[in-house]
Amino acid sequence: MLIALSLLSALPLALAAPTCTLKTSSYAAPAPTPSSVSTPTNPSSGNTTTNGMISMAWYADWHTNFTVSDISWAGYTHMAFFTAQPSSSGTVEVLISDPTMVDQFTAAAKTNNVKSLLTIGGWDGSLYWSSSVATAQNRSTFANSIAQYAQAHGFDGLDFDWEYPAKSGVGCNTMSPQDSDNFLSFMQEMRQIAPNLTLSAATSIVPWVGSTGSPLTDVSKYASSLDWIEVMNYDVYGDFSSVTGPNSPLNDTCASSTDQQGSAVSAIAAWTKAGFPANKLSTAVTGNSLNLYTTFDKTNIPIGDSWSPPSTTADVCGNPPVGNGNTGIYNFWALIEGGFITQNGTVASGMVGMFDECSQTPFVYNPSTSVLVSYDDPQSFTAKGQLIKQAGLAGFAMYEAGGDYKGMLVQAINSAMA
Ligand SMILES: *[C@@H]1O[C@H](CO)[C@@H](O)[C@H](O)[C@H]1NC(C)=O
Ligand SMILES: *[C@@H]1O[C@H](CO)[C@@H](O)[C@H](O)[C@H]1NC(C)=O
Ligand SMILES: *[C@@H]1O[C@H](CO)[C@@H](O)[C@H](O)[C@H]1NC(C)=O
Ligand SMILES: *[C@@H]1O[C@H](CO)[C@@H](O)[C@H](O)[C@H]1NC(C)=O
Ligand SMILES: *[C@@H]1O[C@H](CO)[C@@H](O)[C@H](O)[C@H]1NC(C)=O
Ligand SMILES: CC(=O)N[C@H]1CO[C@H](CO)[C@@H](O)[C@@H]1O
């Protein structure tokens, strides 16, 4: 299970195939400019909704037809710019073709009364997390570089997306058994250097791995250093699995033991047992779906949507595409565009729909192509919102802002949390 998680629960990773293409060294990284701008806000002073819950999404910076001006801010309290990355020289860098995009993002967030976060890492962007925090000197260099960048560009907070401490992640991450200890020291230093920035972290569905290779049993010190974590409860089943299953299950304790691969319910139990308070946990949900052939053949994954094209080039580690290179990934809007579901979220005619009560997951099946899709819709987002409220969690974080269709998913989860 841990092995599977290290590969899979990294949604920003599985989805990040397009990132590889864009984030090559041919793009000039904007140099962090010396700061003199922006008065930092109070710690944890995110624009909370009336009931104080976090409604967050990640904004992926590489879609040519989903730019900052396309973000619909309504319904969100926090929006994270995805991503900045630790560099081999131990500083933070943002690799984008248009450096003005970052300032457009933070300015638009302010205008819309939404708090802006800078996400650091991601599946493709965690190669140098470990080396950047490995020594006191490196932590200091890295933390100061981030603080300077965040202040220069007017961010309200930072979101650490290290996938994953003490794991090789995409396959070629720097790593050390001391990663999680160093991560904590880094968070504590970051708090001192930037006391007015909100600090969060995106995590797996089980706690960070300690020096023994097992999940830590006490993460309370991490909780004191962070405002909240986003537990990435997706990619539980995917093209790495041996059978088809729900991509982002709400529950799995109702499933047979072999099918208990993790869920929002199991994640809440694992993190709270290790001392992370429920009110600092937010559930990361996804507007992405996964298409699989029912006669499940890993070498024959269906093609994804236009935002999730087949991999044709080597990944960040230099490894060639796996299998046929297809991703099988569809954003929620693409399920509508692709004729699986209608504009109101119902199953389209000619398709077969079902709703799995245990995992609270809709599936849609195209009999003419034998493609089965595990996805999320307003009904499953409503169930997740109810769980968030009932379990006393901090809120939700959605990957990614551009995946929704006319705000249907976000409206559903917000209404259920209210
Ligand atoms: C982006 O472009 C793709 C490909 O043309 C299209 O299918 C999709 O609807 C567009 N999405 C948005 C959000 O404009
Ligand atoms: C510290 O950072 C430098 C880059 O500035 C890197 O070369 C070195 O390997 C790092 N130290 C460790 C122990 O990872
Ligand atoms: C943080 O905010 C407080 C009050 O808003 C302010 O007094 C303080 O100077 C700020 N600290 C830094 C390091 O900017
Ligand atoms: C998860 O499933 C278990 C076992 O069926 C059930 O007792 C529990 O209420 C479910 N939890 C939620 C939040 O649906
Ligand atoms: C949803 O859309 C379908 C097809 O477009 C339509 O037949 C159905 O009446 C709609 N349902 C609702 C509740 O609007
Ligand atoms: C606390 C706070 O600032 N809340 C605001 C968050 O943003 C929404 C939508 O823009 C406002 O209505 C709230 O007043």
Q: Is residue 33 part of a domain?
A: yes
Q: Name the residue range of residue 390's domain.
A: 2-296+377-417
For ligand 6, residues with CB inside 6 Å are 47-48, 113
Grouped pLDDT means (10 residues each) for the chain, 418 residues: 27 29 26 29 40 94 96 96 98 94 98 97 98 98 98 98 97 98 98 97 98 97 97 92 92 94 97 97 91 78 94 95 91 97 97 96 94 96 97 97 96 95
Q: Is residue 251 part of a domain?
A: yes
What is the rounded distance in angstroms from the CA atom of residue 2 to the CA atom of residue 5?
5
pLDDT of residue 49: 52
pLDDT of residue 46: 39
pLDDT of residue 297: 81
Encoded tokens for 36: 């003199």
Q: Is residue 317 part of a domain?
A: no
Q: Give the residue, out of 113, 114, 414, with the most ligand 6 atoms within 8 A of its beta carbon, to mutate for a pocket test.
A: 113
pLDDT of residue 232: 97
Q: How far is the CA of 135 from the centre of ligand 2 (A)?
A: 8
Q: Is residue 67 part of a domain?
A: yes
What is the rounded distance in angstroms from the CA atom of residue 254 to the CA atom of residue 322?
33
Q: Is residue 353 part of a domain?
A: no
pLDDT of residue 323: 86
Q: Is residue 189 part of a domain?
A: yes
Q: Is residue 275 part of a domain?
A: yes
What is the rounded distance in angstroms from the CA atom of residue 158 to the CA atom of residue 141?
16
Residue nearest to atom 11 of ligand 4 (CA): 251
Residues facing residue 288 across a β-bridge: 331
pLDDT of residue 50: 52
Number of folded domains that form the chain: 1
**pTM of the entire predicted model:** 0.87
Q: How far is the CA of 59 from the centre of ligand 1 (A)?
A: 16
Question: Which ligand minimizes its atom distance to the CA of 52?
Answer: 6
What is the rounded distance in angstroms from the CA atom of residue 376 to the CA atom of residue 379?
8
Q: Is residue 316 part of a domain?
A: no
Is 51 a pocket residue for ligand 5 (Cβ < 6 Å)?
A: no
Asked if 181 and 173 count as a contact pair (C-beta separation under 8 A), the reply is no
Question: Which ligand minimizes its atom distance to the CA of 339?
Answer: 5
Nearest partner of 63 among 109, 96, 28, judged by Cα: 96
Q: What are the two backbone dihedrals, phi and then psi, of residue 136, each rounded to the nearest 5 degrees?
A: -60, -40
Any idea what the CATH number is for the domain that residue 398 is in? 3.20.20.80
Residue nearest to atom 10 of ligand 4 (CA): 251
pLDDT digits (tens, 9 = 90+) for 101-160: 999 999 999 999 999 999 999 999 999 999 999 999 999 999 999 999 999 999 999 999
